[in-house]
């Protein structure tokens, strides 16, 4: 079987943040499979076929990619950010587990990328500079009660937090509920950063106190970073503030 499947992360937006391995895989690919806006980020070229599909069909998309590879195609499944962080790597392996015999000899590799939370943290300084966790705020694949539980436990453990998929047109109320919960259990001056479209021309970075945060400050192109109780702001007039979490914890 000469085909192979690579699951690649395209980073937060700027092609300059692709890894060399991702660029090499895309250069060798016969097919690129993925969500419509992510496939559009891969330049067209002769010999490359793009298979763009809508959202919420991850397992079907993964099965299609596996089938192409099994027929001898060199396939790259693309995700934004890192493919292993709320993205296509898990979907491909879910599809593989459902039909292991058909694809048991297939070469599959995962190529990491720079995920949105790391790009956003770097853009403002080092808000994830100490212990942190990532929580997907979408309740499409898990109940809202579980999201609330994880939010409460993360704050209790005093993690800095990265929130993915905060607010969509289909579920605009969820992020407001999350903010209300956080405002109830965190001190009002805790810092929260809204990082939209990091590394692109539409990049927008806003850091406010939690008490001043509103649901409208986020959309699906935004990753939200909530600092821990130790997170600090260094004000630098004319250069932009630095938001960071110290590496040491007072005893």
pLDDT in tens, 233-246: 999 988 889 999 99
- Inter-helix orientation angle 144-156/173-185, to 10°: 30
* 1 pLDDT above the threshold of 70: no
Query: Mean pLDDT throughout 219-226?
Result: 94
How far apart are alpha carbons 42 and 39 in whole angstroms?
6
Lowest mean pLDDT among 117-131, 166-180, 184-198: 166-180
- Per the prediction, the chain carries an average pLDDT of 94
Please tell me the pTM assigned to this model.
Answer: 0.91
* 200 pLDDT above the threshold of 80: yes
Contact criterion met (CB below 8 Å) for 207 and 173: no
Contact criterion met (CB below 8 Å) for 81 and 121: no
Structure tokens belonging to residue 120: 């956003």
What percent of the chain is predicted at pLDDT more than 90? 85
How far apart are alpha carbons 191 and 195 in whole angstroms?
13
Residues 6+ apart with CB under 8 A from 20: none
* 127 pLDDT above the threshold of 90: yes
Q: Which of 251, 136, 139, 244 is nearest to 193 (CA)?
A: 244
How far apart are alpha carbons 160 and 107 in whole angstroms?
37
CATH architecture of 117-244: 2-Layer Sandwich (3.30)
Res 251: pLDDT: 80
pLDDT in tens, 5-15: 999 999 999 99
pLDDT in tens, 31-89: 999 999 999 999 999 999 999 998 778 889 999 999 999 999 999 999 999 999 999 99
Q: Where are the domains of the chain?
A: 4-114, 117-244
Q: Is 203 helix (H, G, I), strand (E, B) or coil?
A: coil
Res 172: pLDDT: 75
Structure tokens belonging to residue 24: 């090499």
Extended beta strands in the chain, E state: 4-9, 31-35, 49-53, 74-79, 107-111, 125-126, 132-136, 160-164, 191-196, 204-209, 222-226, 232-234, 242-244
Res 32: pLDDT: 98
Contact criterion met (CB below 8 Å) for 80 and 10: yes
Domain 4-114 has CATH 3.20.20.70: no
* 112 pLDDT above the threshold of 80: yes
Residues 6+ apart with CB under 8 A from 30: 47, 48, 49, 73, 74, 75
């Amino acid at each position: 079987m000469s085909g192979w499947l690579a699951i690649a992360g395209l980073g937060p937006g700027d092609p300059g943040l692709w890894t060399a391995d991702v660029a090499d895989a895309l250069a060798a690919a016969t097919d690129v499979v993925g969500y419509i806006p992510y496939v559009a980020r891969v330049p067209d070229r002769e010999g490359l076929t793009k298979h763009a599909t809508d959202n919420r069909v991850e397992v079907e998309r993964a099965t299609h990619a596996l089938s192409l590879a099994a027929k001898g195609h060199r396939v790259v499944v693309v995700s934004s950010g890192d493919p292993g962080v709320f993205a296509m790597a898990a979907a491909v392996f879910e599809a593989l587990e459902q039909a292991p015999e058909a694809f048991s000899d297939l070469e599959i590799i995962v190529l990491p990328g720079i995920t949105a939370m790391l790009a956003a943290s770097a853009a403002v300084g080092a808000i994830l500079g100490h212990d942190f966790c990532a929580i997907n705020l979408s309740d499409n694949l898990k109940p809202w009660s579980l999201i609330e539980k994880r939010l409460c436990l993360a704050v209790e453990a005093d993690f800095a937090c990265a929130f993915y998929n905060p607010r969509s047109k289909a579920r605009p109320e969820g992020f407001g509920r999350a903010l209300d919960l956080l405002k109830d259990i965190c001190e009002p001056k805790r810092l929260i950063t809204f990082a939209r479209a990091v590394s692109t021309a539409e990049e927008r970075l806003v850091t406010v106190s939690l008490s001043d945060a509103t649901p409208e400050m986020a959309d699906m192109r935004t990753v939200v970073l909530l600092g821990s109780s130790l997170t600090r702001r260094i004000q630098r007039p004319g250069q932009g503030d630095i938001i960071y979490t110290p590496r040491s914890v007072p005893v």
